[in-house]
Structure 1
Amino acid sequence: MLEKLPEVIGHALQGVRAGLDHIVFNTLGMRQGMASIALTSVAFADHAPMRSRHTADGEGLSPPLQWAGLPAGTVSLLLIVEDADSPTPNPLVHAIVVGLIAKSDSLAEAAIPSQDNEGIGLHVGRNSALQASWLPPDPPPGHGMHRYAFQLFALDSAPEFSETPGRDEIFDALREHAIASGLLIGTCERADGSIKTQDGVTAPGPLVAG
């Protein structure tokens, strides 16, 4: 993680981004003909700003998610959230959740544990801060808009994962068992030390990248 990144460095690194082509959804090399999952949120539209309550300048809660269109043969679901615009070689991981039951069609707000929030007991993997929790969006000042990729996958089995699986572990499982996928993009931007959000809140926040 990049912490306390000065705004001048954020401006200098505006062209340095992991890129959407490096998120799991686009690097998995999934076979053609894979089904598509309709992934949405009542908290933000696709490619639109997220609410402050779901970022580091608000309560830092994970946003609500809903989905439809799971194909026959779905046994379990897996969610990974990545920052496609982090100034790092690979996208920063903000959340991993494995073992979601196939009959589910949503995650409530704050379902994933975060600071001062216990969540609902999901099997949560490691984010890029090496914590089994939701890492709230906190883009570096002056770096421009960041796109947070919420990626949901349907699996044809329920693989056994370690206690806190990381990106590499879930990537291997997806390569073998994914049969459908869905993608939702939420955005967040920090300008002049404040986060620009959907609800117009521009509260000063800590200078942390991600």
Structure 2
Amino acid sequence: MLEKLPEVIGHALHGVRAGLDKIIFNTLGMRQGMACISLTSVAFVDHGPLPPRYTADGEGLSPPLQWAQLPAETTSLVLVVEDADSPTPNPLVHAIVVGLRPSDGKLDEAAIPSRDNEGAAGLHVGRNSGLQAAWLPPDPPPGHGAHRYAFQLFALGSVPSFSSAPGRDEIFEALREHALASGLLIGTCERPDGSIKIEKTAPAGPLATG
């Protein structure tokens, strides 16, 4: 969505960012006393760069995720991915998935539908900021600096009746009422000179399949 902005615009907007304080994880008003879910990925480390295959300049796939330490009373999970550094009033939503089963313990690579991938059957996917029920690959503006993509997982004690493709507002209200615990994993992406910045990192392990 933002990669087509001229680099000069990216530099001019360098200080204009939604802010990490505006992601759902930090705005629920329930942080105190909430349990913490362990949310990790075999593809990247917390606050580390996202491999290009998960960005708009690569295959644009959704990355694999794993979770643990859920409250015993968890009945379902909600995943929300937001760009905390988008030059917009609120973070851009890159993915919403509701109704994830706690017992699965993971979401495989490419599970969320994307531009060239149908995704996993049976996932209940919400609307991203492009108004599509899909994974919106990271595509920060050239020259805007590093963007932090917040992968947020929420445990629910009961299962709300979501619409066919719920958006951010609907998700937020449901989480305010039903969230039991939350987890946060951040991946970064940057286009300093008009292209995705690729950082060499040792592989974290084999990608999940299924």
TM-score under structure 2 normalisation?
Answer: 0.93
Higher strand proportion (structure 1 or 2): 1
Amino acid of the residue matched to residue 94 of structure 1?
A: H
User: Match of 1:43, SS?
Assistant: coil
User: Match of 1:25, SS?
Assistant: helix
Q: Would the aligned equivalents of 1:16 and 1:88 in 2 still touch at CA under 8 Å? A: yes
Q: Would the aligned equivalents of 1:51 and 1:199 in 2 still touch at CA under 8 Å? A: no
Amino acid of the residue matched to residue 11 of structure 2?
A: H
Q: CA deviation at 1:198?
A: 3.7
Q: Would the aligned equivalents of 2:150 and 2:186 in 1 still touch at CA under 8 Å? A: yes
**1:178-189 map, 5 Å:** 178-189=179-190
User: Match of 2:62, SS?
Assistant: coil
| Paired position in structure 2 for 1:154 | 155
| Paired position in structure 1 for 2:75 | 75
| Paired position in structure 1 for 2:93 | 93
Structure 1 residues 146 and 173: CA distance shift in structure 2, 3 A: same
Structure 1 residues 100 and 193: CA distance shift in structure 2, 3 A: same
| Paired position in structure 2 for 1:165 | 166
Q: Which ranges in structure 2 are unaligned for 5 or more consecutive residues?
A: 202-210
Question: For 1:85-113, what per-residue CA distance to the aligned partner results, in whole angstroms no more than 9, with x for missing partners?
Answer: 00000000000000011212100000000
Q: CA deviation at 1:163?
A: 0.5
Q: CA deviation at 1:185?
A: 0.2
Q: Would the aligned equivalents of 1:125 and 1:163 in 2 still touch at CA under 8 Å? A: yes
Question: For 1:146-183, what per-residue CA distance to the aligned partner results, in whole angstroms no more than 9, with x for missing partners?
Answer: 00000000000111100000000000000000000000
Q: Which ranges in structure 1 are unaligned for 5 or more consecutive residues?
A: 201-210
| Paired position in structure 2 for 1:131 | 132
User: Match of 1:170, SS?
Assistant: helix
Matches of 2:134 and 2:200 in 1, distance apart? 24
| Paired position in structure 2 for 1:102 | 102
Q: CA RMSD in A?
A: 1.2
TM-score under structure 1 normalisation?
Answer: 0.93
Structure 1 residues 32 and 66: CA distance shift in structure 2, 3 A: same
Q: CA deviation at 1:4?
A: 2.2
Q: Would the aligned equivalents of 2:3 and 2:142 in 1 still touch at CA under 8 Å? A: no
Matches of 2:46 and 2:161 in 1, distance apart? 32
Number of equivalences: 200
